[in-house]
Structure 1
Amino acid sequence: MTVADADHINCAHELQRNGFAVLPQFLDPSQLEQLRLEADTLYELAEAQAQAGSPSAAAGWGREHIARCVHEVIPGHQLTPELRTCYSAHRSHRSSWPLRGEVWHILFCSQLTRLVLALLGPEAVLFNDQHILKPPCTNLSSFPWHRDSDWCRSGLSTYQPYISVWCALDDTTVANGCLVVQPFALQKEQSQDVVALEVAAGTAVIMSDTVLHRSGPNRSRHMRRAWMPQFAARKLSWHADGTCVSLAIPLNAAAAEKG
C-alpha cells in the first residue's frame, strides 16, 4: 500500500465517521498561488462590473456575487449543455482568461483528482466549481447552518452522494469566518458542540454533502479566500426534464485522453 492509498483510506474513514476530513498542506505552493491569482481576478472583475452598474453578458461576475461571497467559476448563464457535460468544451473554457489552465490541471490531473476518484469511484464527475471570497470588515459574509445537499430533497431524478473539497487559500480563523462543523456523532446525539476549523492556507477540508456546517462573517482587515469544487459519484439530473443540474464532467476523461 502506498502513502497516497493510506491517506485515501483514512480520509474515507473520517468522512464516514465525522462527515468531514482535514488534510493539511494538501495544496503545494504553486497550486496555492495559481488559485489565489484566479480568485483575485474574479473578485476584481466582480467589483468592476458592480461599479459599472450591471454585469456584462460576456462575463457575469458582479454585485450579486460579491454580496453572496460565492463566485461561480462559470456563471450559470454561460453554462450551455455542452459546457455542462463535454470534457473538451469544459477544458477549453475553464483554461481561458480570466480563469487559469493551471487550476484546470488541479481539478483533472493532480492529487485532488486521485483523491476524489478513490472516494467516489471511477464514474465521479466534477459537479460544481466556485470560489468563496469574504471581503474584510463585513457582517454580510456569513453562511447559516446547512447541509450542502439540503436542496436535493425534491426535484432530482436520482440522488447521488457528493463531496465538497473546501480549500483554504488564506489562513482561516474564527475572526475571518472559518468553517464550523458538527460531526455526525454529535448530530446523532443532538449535541450542541461544534468544531471550528482554524486551518492554514493550503489545507483541504473534505465534506460530505450531509454534514452540518456554517461559517461566520469576516471581521478581519484582510480578504478571506477559499476554493470549493464539488464532486458527485455520478451525474445529477432534474426529474422534470432529465437535464443536468450543474456540471457533469467526468474526472477520468483526462486519463483516457492520455491513452
Structure 2
Amino acid sequence: MRMAIITEQQRELYRTEGYMILPGVIPPEMLSMLREECSYYLGYYDSMMDAKGVQTENISHRGKRYFINNRYRLSSRLWRFVFSDLMAQVAAATVGPDAYLFHEQWVVKGAEQGMKFAWHQDSGYVKWYNPTTQHKPYVTCWCTLDDVSEENGTVYLLPHSRGGTQHSIIDHTKEDGTNDLIGYTGNDPGDAVIVPAGSIVAFDSYVFHRSGPNRTDNMRRIYLPQYSAAPIDRPDGKPWAMATPFLKDGKNIYNHADDTAEQYGPFPEPSKEKVA
C-alpha cells in the first residue's frame, strides 16, 4: 500500500489529542492472515498455561482476556504486516521519520466472558517497572480483526484535552484480582471507538484508555504493534521490550534476514571436509 492514507486533519488530531482513527485500511488478504495467526497464538498460549497448570498469567486470564507479547519472530509471515508500507505510514505520521518496533501483542477478549480492562496509559506500564523512565510517547496501533462495538468490549479513549496527559505519565496503582494498572479514577467515560474489522486506531502512549467486557458470543480480537522514535531502555541499559529498526529518515530499513539471524544466530559455515 503506497497511496497516502493519512490526512492532515488526522495528523493534527494526533498532535493535539493523541489519537487518529483509520477505518478499514488493512487489506483483506492481510486481515485474513492476521486472523489465522491469532488463532495459532491463542492455542500456543493456552498450551503454555496448561504446562504451568495456571489459569492466570500476569494480566492474561484463560478464556477471558489474553495479552500475548512479542512473539512475531515465531511467525513466518507476521513481519510482513508489522513492517509493511501501511505501518510505515502510520509510524512516520505519529512518532516521526525514525521508528523502531518497540512492542507487539495480541489482545483478545473471550466470547461472553471477556473481561474489562481498566483506565491506564501504556507508558504507565513502562513506568511501573522503571520509575525513572523519561521516554517520549510511543504509538500504539490498535488493529481490529473484528468489528468492534460497546457490546464486544471496544476501546474508550480519553483525549489529552480531557485527561491532561499530553506531557506526563501518571503514577498508576495495581488492581487486586486482575493485576491491571489504573491511572485514572475520574467520571469521564471516554469516547467509544466504533469501527469495522481492518481498522487501525493509533494513539500515543500517554493517552488514557480502557475497554469494556465482551458480552457477545464471539471473540473480540486485536493485534497491537507499537513503535517508538528511539529505543526505550531499562535501567540496565537493555531494551525494555524490543528495539527493532524500522524507519530511518522516513525510509523503511527493516531487514528480515538480519532480524531472523538475530533470533537464531548465524547459520554455521558448510563443512569443508569430504563426505565419504
Normalising by the smaller structure, the TM-score range is 0.7 to 0.9
Give the drift of 1:205. Answer: 0.3
Deviation at 1:115, TM superposition (A): 2.2
Asked if 1 retains the 8 angstrom alpha-carbon contact of 2:83 and 2:254, the reply is no
Q: Would you say the 8 A contact 1:116–1:231 is kept in 2?
A: yes
Structure 2 residue aligned with 1:12: 11
Q: Which residue in the other structure is 1:40 paired with?
A: 39
Contact 1:46-1:63 within 8 A present in 2 as well = no
Which SS does the other structure have where 1:36 is aligned?
helix
More strand by share: 2
Superposition pairs of residues 132-171 of structure 1, within 5 angstroms: 132-138=107-113, 141-153=115-127, 154-156=130-132, 158-171=134-147
Output one character per residue of 1:179-221: Cα deviation in whole Å (capped at 9) or x when no partner.
0111222224987252111211011000111111100111110
Once structures 1 and 2 are overlaid, which stretch shifts more, 161-170 or 120-129? 120-129
2:233 corresponding residue in structure 1: 237
Q: Aligned-pair distance for 1:15?
A: 1.1
- Give runs of aligned pairs for residues 41-80 of structure 1, distance below 5 A: 41-54=40-53, 64=57, 65-67=60-62, 68-74=65-71
Any idea what SS the aligned residue of 1:126 has? strand
Using structure 2 for the length normalisation, give the TM-score.
0.73
Question: SS state of the match for residue 15, structure 1?
Answer: helix
Query: Taking structure 1 as reference, are residues 49 and 209 closer, same or farther at Cα in structure 2, changes over 3 Å only?
Result: closer
**Distance in 2 (alpha carbons) for counterparts of 1:193 and 1:132:** 21
- Whole-Å separation in 2 of the counterparts to 1:122 and 1:128: 18
- Residue 24 of structure 2 is matched in structure 1 by 25
Q: Deviations over 1:20-51 (max 9, x none)?
A: 11101120101111110111111122233434
Show the counterpart of 2:253: 255
Preserved contact between residue 124 and residue 232 of structure 1 (Cα < 8 Å): yes
Residue matched to 1:109: 84
* TM-score, scaled relative to structure 1: 0.77
Task: Give the match for residue 176 of structure 1.
Answer: 152
Instruction: Describe the superposition over 1:209-258 as per-residue Cα deviations: whole angstroms up to 9, x where unpaired.
Output: 1111100111110111000111111000122x211100000103753759
Contact 1:8 1:119 in 2 (8 A): no
Amino acid at match of 1:71: I
Q: Secondary structure at the match of 1:165?
A: strand
Instruction: Say whether the 8 Å CA contact 1:134–1:223 is kept in structure 2.
Output: yes
Could you tell me how far apart the structure 2 residues matched to 1:256 and 1:49 are?
Answer: 30
Structure 1 residue 54: deviation in Å? Answer: 4.5
Query: Between the two proteins, what is the percent identity of the paired residues?
Result: 27
Q: Could you tell me how far 1:100 is from its partner in structure 2? A: 3.9
Report whether the alignment pairs 1:201 with 2:197: yes
Cα RMSD after superposing both structures: 2.7
Alignment CA distance shift 1:145-1:251 (3 Å): same
Q: Which runs of 5+ in 2 are unaligned?
A: 166-185, 257-276
2:98 to 119, 123, 127: 123
| Mapped partners of 2:206, 2:191: distance in 1 | 16
Amino acid at match of 1:134: K
Measured against aligned partners, the alpha-carbon deviations of 1:112-141 in whole angstroms (never above 9, x if no partner) come to 1232024222321000010001111115x2
1:187 and 2:169 matched = no
Structure 1 unaligned regions, length at least 5 = 56-61, 75-92
